[in-house]
Amino acid sequence: MIEVITDDKHRVAEWAKPKIEEGMHWSNFQAFGFERDGDLVGAVIFTEYTGNDIHVSVVTTNPCWWHRRYIRTLYEYVFDQCGCIRISALVKEDNAKSIKLLRGLGFQEEGRLRRYFNPQDGLVFGQLRSECKWLER
């Protein structure tokens, strides 16, 4: 059984931090954790909230928590609770798993930040609320 952790963002962030892309830092953030049998197996970290946009990072050691209901809950947080019109993600150009996940969720590649993860480029992905297939219309 998966338990969603919404009230201990610092513990979730400490677990996720060593697993996140190098160069990714945050000070003002929200974090959702996903536990199985008392152990964290996934985290979603939201940063860089501007009112219109929020950045997301996903970390997992076991995809057992990646269910439609949790994905929908995360999008509801972004679009309904935060009131954003878009969500963004930044990944290393060679992070094939993250790129596949983002595209599967409906994100579109929007740009390239040359040498952002020196020496690798960073790829910027984004999704508008109007493109989100996970929310009821």
Residues 90 and 113 sit within 8 Å (Cβ to Cβ): yes
Q: pLDDT per position in the chain (137 positions), as tens?
A: 899 999 999 999 999 988 886 656 677 899 999 999 999 999 999 999 999 999 999 999 988 888 898 999 999 999 999 999 999 999 999 999 999 999 999 999 999 999 999 999 999 999 999 999 999 76
Q: How far apart are CA 2 and CA 67, in angstroms?
A: 10
Domains of the chain, start order: 2-131 (3.40.630.30)
Number of CB atoms found within 10 A of residue 34's CB: 23
